[in-house]
Amino acid sequence: MSLQSLSDNLRPIAPPQLLNNVYTDAQYASVVSAIRRHGPWRLIIAQHFKSVEELIATTSGAPPPPGTKLTLESFVGPTFRGYLAQNSICYYDEVEEAFYNPKFLSYAKSYWNAKYARPTMMLFNLAGPAYDRDPGHLDSPSFRGMDGANTPTWLLGVMGKSGLFNRWAVKKAQVITWFYKDGPGGGFTYWPDGPLAAPRRLPAPMWNKGVVVQNEAMFHRGESFGPEALRQPAGLGWTSTIRADDTDPTGWVVETDGKPIIRYPQQQTRLLLHWNAEVFTDMQDMKTALDHQDDLCPERVSEILLADLRKRGVTVATPSDPLADPAFVHALTQTYAIGPSSYPVEAPLAQVAA
């Protein structure tokens, strides 16, 4: 399988569809209220990865240059995440109207030309001014029998990039919405024609602007934003969290081990709301998924991947634990390494500190 073949596999079912005025004022206020009331919230990177290789497997998959010594701390930036709903259950009463949203379900079904849909998850990313060190990533795909509940993020990313598991892929649609007014930066770069093709971008300002998209099949990234002097706050670390600032009714405070390190007024932050639905083409498609008629398991995934590796001439031992074996992770990371080949002139890739 060539690099171009991998790239061709990583295209959404349809180009992103632009939306304006995505949330009502009341829905937006309720979501922000829930975020303020139920913090603190952890860094995205601290929630999803245990090693640099797992992180790389989810982004470009390309190993760092020889001699580069990277740790997960090298990738830490002031971007935090929290979940408002998962497994079709809304966690907070004030968010129910936004999550069980008929308008969003209509968007999802139309995007896939599908008959059925159900909301599955809603999360937010809340960031202070930050460098965009993300070379472009895929959201975690899900497969019948294997998803974020039982499978690490890095392996789901490899499965999606490989193209070997498309038959089992869960059909998803997202409504992604941004709330960011102040410059500089803060746009959205995406590669709808595959990561080897030219990127496109949605520039800021992006207040209540969104897209309907299939982000697990399309490389994308948020762009650097905010005053450069504030993009890497001193004291930010693996244990940092963000919560509502008690001294500012709309502001936020970042803490490391309980010690405040920086405060952000609301206008300096960038809020992303990610709503997700699972869609089903027809009744049979729904039954296959919900009745678990054709599910994957780790052993079967390992067998398929090992067979493909050996077909390519890659030598690797059969892993005792395919979900965590370091040699297996390394082999898969290198074999299915692909990422964006170019970036917008207006939004270059920031370098990761070694």
Between residues 323 and 37, which one has the greater pLDDT? 37
Cβ neighbour number for residue 321 with a 10 Å cutoff: 10
* Per-residue model confidence as pLDDT tens digits over 130-149: 998 889 999 999 999 999 88
* Helix (H), strand (E) at residue 28: helix 25-37
Mean pLDDT of the chain: 91
pLDDT surpasses 60 at 60: no
How far, in Å, CA of 243 to CA of 230, rounded? 18
Reported confidence tier of residue 66, pLDDT bands at 50, 70, 90: low
> Residue 350 is encoded by which pair of tokens?
């920031």
How far, in Å, CA of 294 to CA of 145, rounded? 8
pLDDT surpasses 80 at 319: yes
* Per-residue model confidence as pLDDT tens digits over 95-138: 999 999 999 999 999 999 999 999 999 999 999 999 988 899 99
* Per-residue model confidence as pLDDT tens digits over 217-275: 999 999 999 999 999 999 998 899 999 999 999 999 999 999 999 999 999 999 999 99
Q: Set out the domains of the chain in order of their start, with CATH numbers.
A: 3-48+65-139+169-296 (2.60.120.590)
- Helix pair 153-162, 326-335: axis angle to 10 deg: 30
pLDDT given for residue 46 in this prediction: 80
* Per-residue model confidence as pLDDT tens digits over 162-213: 999 999 999 999 999 999 987 789 999 999 999 999 999 999 999 999 999 9
How far, in Å, CA of 127 to CA of 78, rounded? 6
64: helix, coil or strand?
coil
pLDDT given for residue 354 in this prediction: 45
pLDDT surpasses 50 at 72: no
Cα–Cα distances (Å) from 97 to 38, 79, 84, 206, 287, in that order, read 18, 26, 12, 22, 28
How far, in Å, CA of 135 to CA of 222, rounded? 10
pLDDT given for residue 249 in this prediction: 95
Stretch 44-55: mean pLDDT: 65
Reported confidence tier of residue 76, pLDDT bands at 50, 70, 90: confident
Stretch 336-342: mean pLDDT: 93
Q: State what percent of residues in the chain have pLDDT above 90.
A: 77
- ∠ CA 148-153-157, nearest 5°, is 110
Say which residues have a Cβ less than 8 Å from residue 325's Cβ, sequence separation at least 6.
319
Stretch 67-84: mean pLDDT: 74
Q: What is the pTM (predicted TM-score) of this model?
A: 0.89
Stretch 269-288: mean pLDDT: 97
